[in-house]
């Protein structure tokens, strides 16, 4: 049975159990999320947003998530619902699946010597809450669910690349804030840039997430 986390009326499910329409409702019709379609770290060499139409990016996301196919063994994200309303998105899968992330020289690799193809290291690369539902703890709930989701699929560790400051453009904030991940039990590993940290948490049998403070 697919893992599911509930906190009151907030429920998180693997994206293949959600409809693609629900995902698009979270992203909205304007703004960075609707333009990106969570493909920033998925572009192949020589590809760019300018050379890859948004319709193609949306098609790729639909394939990656297997949205609408609850029997699929593969998906690349989680979707949060507040009662029946889709309100949150979290991209989480093996770090080696993010092609352009592997090519980045600073985040997350500066100061680290690791096997980039290690499939037991999972990464949370995007946290997004639908407009009108922010500052309600949805990101924290998604992080908790993502850790469990990755652990249940064999992850040894889970890492993320949050912003140190909230004073950033919308395009930068997709990766979440450092304070949110620290509150969820992650530990800071490095600061490859002045504005970005690398954090991670071990995934092991008997692992328990810390109690929420709110």
Q: Let me know if residue 213 belongs to a domain.
A: no
Q: Which residue range forms the structural domain that includes residue 190?
A: 5-202
Indicate which CATH number applies to the domain containing 28: 3.40.630.30
Q: Let me know if residue 210 belongs to a domain.
A: no
Q: Let me know if residue 42 belongs to a domain.
A: yes
- Quick: pLDDT tens for 145-195: 999 999 999 999 999 999 997 666 666 778 999 999 999 999 999 999 888
C-alpha distance from residue 154 to each of 8, 15, 44, 121, 142 (Å): 28, 18, 26, 9, 18
How many structural domains comprise the chain? 1
Q: What average pLDDT values come out for the chain (214 residues) when binned by 10 residues?
A: 51 97 94 92 88 94 96 96 94 96 89 92 96 89 96 95 77 85 94 92 58 44
- Quick: pLDDT tens for 113-125: 899 999 999 999 9
How do 157-160 and 187-190 pair as beta strands? unpaired
Q: Let me know if residue 214 belongs to a domain.
A: no
pLDDT attached to residue 180? 94
Q: Which residues contact 86 (CB under 8 A, 6 or more apart)?
A: 18, 22, 23, 25, 26, 79, 80, 130
Q: Let me know if residue 73 belongs to a domain.
A: yes
pLDDT attached to residue 2? 35
C-alpha distance from residue 2 to each of 65, 74, 78, 111, 178 (Å): 14, 11, 11, 36, 28
pLDDT attached to residue 4? 42
Neighbour-count burial for 69-90, b at 16+ CB within 10 Å, e otherwise: eeeeeebbbbbbbbeeebbbbb
Q: Let me know if residue 212 belongs to a domain.
A: no
pTM of the model: 0.88
User: Would you list the DSSP string of 137-157?
Assistant: SHHHHHHHHHHHHHHHTT-SE
Q: Let me know if residue 92 belongs to a domain.
A: yes
Q: Let me know if residue 133 belongs to a domain.
A: yes
């Amino acid at each position: 049975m697919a893992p599911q986390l509930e906190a009151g009326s907030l429920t998180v499910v693997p994206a293949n159990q959600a409809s693609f329409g629900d995902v698009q409702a979270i992203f909205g019709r304007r703004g960075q999320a609707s333009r990106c379609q969570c493909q920033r770290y998925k572009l192949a060499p020589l590809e760019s947003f300018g050379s890859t139409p948004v319709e193609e990016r949306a098609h790729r996301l639909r394939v990656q998530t297997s949205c609408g196919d609850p029997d699929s063994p593969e998906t690349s994200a989680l979707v949060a619902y507040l009662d029946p309303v889709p309100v949150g998105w979290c991209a989480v899968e093996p770090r080696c699946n993010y092609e352009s992330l592997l090519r980045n020289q600073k985040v997350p690799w500066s100061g680290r010597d690791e096997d980039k193809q290690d499939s037991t290291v999972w990464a949370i690369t995007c946290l997004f809450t639908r407009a009108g539902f922010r500052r309600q703890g949805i990101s924290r709930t998604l992080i908790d669910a993502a850790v469990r989701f990755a652990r249940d699929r064999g992850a040894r560790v889970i890492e993320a690349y949050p912003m140190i400051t909230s004073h950033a453009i919308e395009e930068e904030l997709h990766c979440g804030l450092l304070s949110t991940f620290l509150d969820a039990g992650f530990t800071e590993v490095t600061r490859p840039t002045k504005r970005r940290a690398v954090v991670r948490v071990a995934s092991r049998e008997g692992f328990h997430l810390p109690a929420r403070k709110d």
